Amino acid sequence: EELEKQVLDALPHGLFIGGEWVETDATIPVINPAKGEAFAEVADATPELAKTALDAACDAASEWAAWKPRERAELLRRAFDLIESRKQIFAALMTMEMGKTYKESLGEVAYGNEYVRWFSEQTCRIEGYNAIAPSSGKRILTEKVPVGPVLAITPWNFPLAMATRKIAPALAAGCTVVVKPAKLTPLTTLLFCKVLEDVGLPAGVVNCFTTNHSGATTGPLIADPRMRKITFTGSTEVGVGLLRQAADRVLRSSMELGGNAPCVILADADLDVAVQGAMDAKMRNLGEACTAGNRFIVHESLVGEFTKRFTERMAAQKVGYGLDDSVNVGPLIDDEQRSKVLGFVQDSIDKGGKVEVGGNPIEGPGYFMEPTVISGIQPGSRILTEEIFGPFAPIIPFSTEQEAIDIANGTDFGLAAYVFSRDLKNAMRVGEGIETGMVGINTGVVSDAAAPFGGVKMSGLGREGSQLGIEEFLETKYYAIPLD
Ligand code: ADP
């Protein structure tokens, strides 16, 4: 409770536009999903106010682009240090608005803040190249220049990391930003803006608006000729709609969309490693991650033993409010999400799956459900093609390697996959057969600020993190220089 109070005292109020905190008459309640009740309110931007955020980003664009890379780097580095010094507040706030446990929230602060540090370092590594045209001999000189004002739209599942993964590389590249966080978890992004203000980011370089009207506010921004880039993380459905709008302005687009990660456990897997990897892939962030293990595809020779051990681990999870130290699984984000996950559970049972543990909502306040394992998933079950986003692990046996690959690829998604085997050659062969942007081998965690995060197929466009992450915010400009 002491921590809850500190968090409330630390919260900024209003929209962050042009370096000012702008309050609105209308507000949006922010619900603690463990309690099912509001603990704070945020401003509700109208389309007119959202437009002023873009005005501010445009006004600040040339000054920010002219800052020396070293100066931008050092500002980002100061932001990293300040977030680190406020990590308890960030973590408790994320537990309060999103539901994950405090320990996991601290993990997200470390992970999310690493993007700030990583891109502070990348700021000084923006390089073009020179060449000599083979026939004419003219000189080809290239520069990397900031794309210009960016619209970032972020989801609720990683309130800090999704913001830093977009805003840090945009700032590193010399772009200004308008960010719209999800209304379910708007406070963490506002607190991040407070950090940027405190380290001296010039007014208008980052602007944040929270709103109840996502389409009505973002639509005009995407259509505005001054906007140069959209970067989105969220559902494939919304991403497709945003891409359609972006097409009208040929707006550069980065999309991190849904996933349906297969977790393939080969006959020669080390079961200790596989069970731990399955727990990490499934239960990290309560399963509310686009990289979450969605289908546990296990060789028939191991499936009995794997199911037994995995079920024991899932059954031992303590569900409750994430600020309570003994808890290791929090609530789902809202009742709608919980109903959706329980719908997948019911569908898997209806199609012939067997409940090993869980399967039910937990009565009382908050949006809790039991960690759930269902074995013997039958063809036609919805989870084979749809994304679960919750603590439900479906198990599917296979006999041949090709069968496992075919099941793994039997979805429109292609974000992450996990393969478990004692033999790296077998794991690589299967990994190469699976169409995803990322493959974890003998691990249930792929995310890393230094690694390229992103998907193929309907999981998205572009990469975040790594050296590639900054390229999404840079244009290549070429100068032709004949010397004769
Ligand atoms: P999820 O809720 O599964 O994370 P969504 O795609 O619904 O994914 O939401 C991700 C982000 O996109 C949120 O910030 C949300 O407010 C925003 N969003 C949802 N619908 C629209 C829309 N039609 N136009 C612009 N942004 C939207």
Both tokens of 50, joined, read 């959202």
Beta bridge partners of 132: 139
210 lines ligand 1 (CB under 6 A): no
Ligand 1 centroid, distance to 383 Cα (angstroms): 22
CB neighbours of residue 42 within 10 Å: 27
Give how far Cα 440 sits from Cα of 166, 436, 443, Å.
23, 11, 5
Two tokens at 249?
A: 């302005």
**ipTM, interface predicted TM-score of the complex:** 0.95
Give the ligand 1 atom nearest the CA of 182.
14
Q: Is it the case that residue 341 has pLDDT exceeding 90?
A: yes
**pLDDT at position 212:** 98
Mind listing the pLDDT tens digit for each residue in 202-229?
A: 999 999 999 999 999 999 999 999 999 9
Q: What is the rounded end-to-end Cα distance, in angstroms, of the chain?
A: 75
Residues 6+ apart with CB under 8 A from 346: none
% of the chain residues with pLDDT over 90: 99
Residue 484: pLDDT over 90? no
Residues linked to residue 255 through DSSP beta bridges, in sequence order: 232, 461
Nearest CA to ligand 1 atom 1: 234
Half-sphere exposure of 428 (CA within 13 A, CB side): 3
Q: What is the total residue count of the chain? A: 484
Is 245 near ligand 1, meaning CB less than 6 Å away?
no
Residues 105, 450, 462, 84, Cα dihedral to 10°? 40
Catalytic residue check, 435: no
pLDDT at position 411, please?
A: 98
Q: What is the pLDDT of residues 393-412, one digit of tens each?
A: 999 999 999 999 999 999 99
Give 383-394 pLDDT, tens digit per residue: 999 999 999 999
DSSP code of residue 185: S
Going by the DSSP 8-state scheme, the letter that residue 391 receives in this structure is S
Locate the ligand 1 atom nearest the alpha carbon of residue 181 and give its number. Answer: 14
Q: How far is CA 476 from CA 89, 128, 146, 401, in A?
A: 40, 8, 9, 43
In short, whether 158's Cβ falls inside 6 Å of ligand 1 is no
Q: Which residues contact 85 (CB under 8 A, 6 or more apart)?
A: none
Atom nearest to 258 CA in ligand 1: 3
Chain mean pLDDT for the chain: 98
| Closest C-alpha to ligand 1, atom 22 | 215
Average pLDDT over residues 262-287: 98
Residue whose C-alpha is closest to residue 367's, from 38, 31, 34: 34
72: left (phi over 0), alpha (psi -120 to 50) or beta: alpha
Judged on CB neighbours under 10 Å (0-12, 13-18, 19+), 247 is exposed
pLDDT above 90: residue 327: yes
Q: Which residues contact 392 (CB under 8 A, 6 or more apart)?
A: 287, 341, 344, 345, 358, 371, 372, 373, 374, 383
CA distance 207 to 149: 11
How much is the pLDDT for 401? 98
Q: How far is 14 from 450, CA to CA, in rounded Å?
A: 33
Residue 374 pLDDT exceeds 90 = yes
Give the model confidence (pLDDT) of 42-78 as tens digits: 999 999 999 999 999 999 999 999 999 999 999 999 9
Alpha-carbon torsion (263, 266, 267, 268), positive or negative:
negative
Q: Which of 104, 108, 256, 471 is catalytic?
A: 256
- The alpha carbons of the chain give a radius of gyration, in whole angstroms, of 23
3-state secondary structure 412-467: CCCCEEEEECCCHHHHHHHHHHCCCCEEEECCCCCCCCCCCECCCHHHEECCECCC
CA of 214 to the centre of ligand 1 (A): 7
Contact 333, 340 (CB under 8 A): no
Ligand 1, pocket-test mutation among 238, 243, 386, most atoms within 8 A of CB: 238
Q: Can you give the pLDDT at residue 408?
A: 98
- Alpha-carbon distance of 256 to 242, in angstroms, equals 12
Q: Rounded to an integer, what distance in angstroms lies between the CA atom of residue 9 and that of residue 218?
A: 30
479/107 Cα distance (integer angstroms): 45
